[in-house]
Amino acid sequence: MAKKIEFIICQCKPNAQDKHFEWFSNSFFRGPDGPSLRAETIRYVQYFFKPDMPAHVLEARGHFLYYLLTSIPPNSDVEQQWCKTVVWFDWLTYDPHTSVQFIEPVMSMIRIALANLPSKATAMLEYVCKSVSLIYPARTELFKKAANDAMQAVHEYYQGGLPALLDNPRIERSIRELVRETFSDYFARNAAAPPPLIPPPVSAPQLTAPPPQPPVTRPQSLPATTTAPANSNHTTSSRERGRSKDKEKNKENEKDDKERVKQNKTPSPPNGTVISPKVDEPVTLQAKKKERTKEIDELVEQLRDDFKTTMVTL
């Protein structure tokens, strides 16, 4: 019988477990020893654990428990109550030294029942909540503490996913309230901690703004109309000066030309007389040429200055 149980749990695929379990139930639970064998099978499945068991084998234990509890004949109330007691017995007598692997298959079975038969999961939770105070009233606090410790151990095994399972809307509301009342210590341990009080931030010293300074006024530039007439007068006066100088030079040049013509018209000396050349004449001509070139250069410079001033004003 044990080998067949291990074969169904370890080697059968999830889709093929139904057929194998049906054969197993017809073979062992139809006789007069069926109720006791069913209870012994539940205990064996709960304690069937090996360190190297994969995750799907651990899940298969919950499936096998679900098959064992849902295949009980509906008319045998005694067998149903006895099997429920066998399922929850390790929870009511839980000790911290007990391995969580021996109590975890029960919650796995309830999770499977919620997906397939919610009434079965509701009946199982109702039974454990009522049995805490009814199975032996003198030890109610002891059973309640053991059940809360077992629930906390499974909570840590599931890494915090157990409250969502116990608050599933498929469970009746009255049973959910009863579960919260029975496992009040467990829910108090795992209640969401209030957010820490954060002291108000220290206000930074306010910086005083400097007094407003009056705007800096820049000196206004003089309009261009005031400077234009002065520049125009200057240019006109300089032009008139240049013209007067040109006239004077022209007059001097005319005088020089007349003197040259007179000298050329003078009669030639008689034969045998030698007229000594005027030594001073070429010297005076060169000096005059130099003076004229200087005057011309000065005029050119004045014209350049006048041109610059006119361009600036424009």
Q: What are the tens digits of pLDDT across the range 81-129?
A: 999 999 999 999 999 888 898 999 999 999 999 999 999 999 999 999 9
Pairwise CA distance, residues 314 & 312, whole Å:
5
Pick from 93, 115, 113, 112: nearest CA to 103:
93
Pick from 68, 57, 73, 69: nearest CA to 9:
57
* The pLDDT of residue 215 is above 80: no
How do residues 159-177 score in pLDDT, each as one tens digit? 878 888 999 999 999 999 9
Contact 38, 29 (CB under 8 A): yes
Pairwise CA distance, residues 105 & 90, whole Å:
11
Pairwise CA distance, residues 133 & 144, whole Å:
8
Contact 36, 86 (CB under 8 A): no
- Looking at residue 99, the DSSP 8-state letter turns out to be -
Per-residue pLDDT at 112: 92
Residues contacting residue 172 through CB under 8 Å, at least 6 positions apart: 122
Q: Would you place residue 194 in the very low, low, confident or very high pLDDT band (cuts 50, 70, 90)?
A: very low
Average pLDDT over residues 44-68: 88
What percentage of the chain carries pLDDT values higher than 70?
74
Per-residue pLDDT at 138: 92
Residues in the chain: 314
The first and second tokens of residue 188, run together, are 């108090």
Pick from 126, 118, 106, 116: nearest CA to 64:
106
CA dihedral 164, 168, 171, 176 (to 10 degrees): 50
Per-residue pLDDT at 292: 83
Phi, psi of 139 (to 5 degrees): -110, 30
More confident residue, 133 or 50: 133
Average pLDDT over residues 26-38: 87
Per-residue pLDDT at 301: 79
Phi, psi of 170 (to 5 degrees): -70, -20
Residues contacting residue 15 through CB under 8 Å, at least 6 positions apart: none
* The pLDDT of residue 300 is above 70: yes
Average pLDDT over residues 222-240: 49
SS (H, E, C) 192-242: CCCCCCCCCCCCCCCCCCCCCCCCCCCCCCCCHHHHHHHHHHHHHHHHHHH
Q: Write b or e for each residue in 148-169: b if 16 or more Cβ atoms lie within 10 A of its Cβ, otherwise e.
A: bbbbbbbbeebeeebbebbebe
Domain boundaries, the chain: 1-190
Q: Write b or e for each residue in 115-126: b if 16 or more Cβ atoms lie within 10 A of its Cβ, otherwise e.
A: eeebebbbbbbb
What percentage of the chain carries pLDDT values higher than 90?
34
Per-residue pLDDT at 273: 44
Per-residue pLDDT at 151: 93
Cα angle, residue 122 at apex, residues 37 and 112 outer, rounded to 5°: 65
How do residues 2-26 score in pLDDT, each as one tens digit? 888 888 888 887 778 888 888 888 8
The first and second tokens of residue 46, run together, are 């709960």
Pairwise CA distance, residues 289 & 60, whole Å:
133
Weakest mean pLDDT among 32-41, 157-166, 245-254, 292-301: 245-254
Pick from 56, 162, 58, 160: nearest CA to 107:
162
- Residue whose entry in the numeric block shows the structure tokens 């309009």: 223
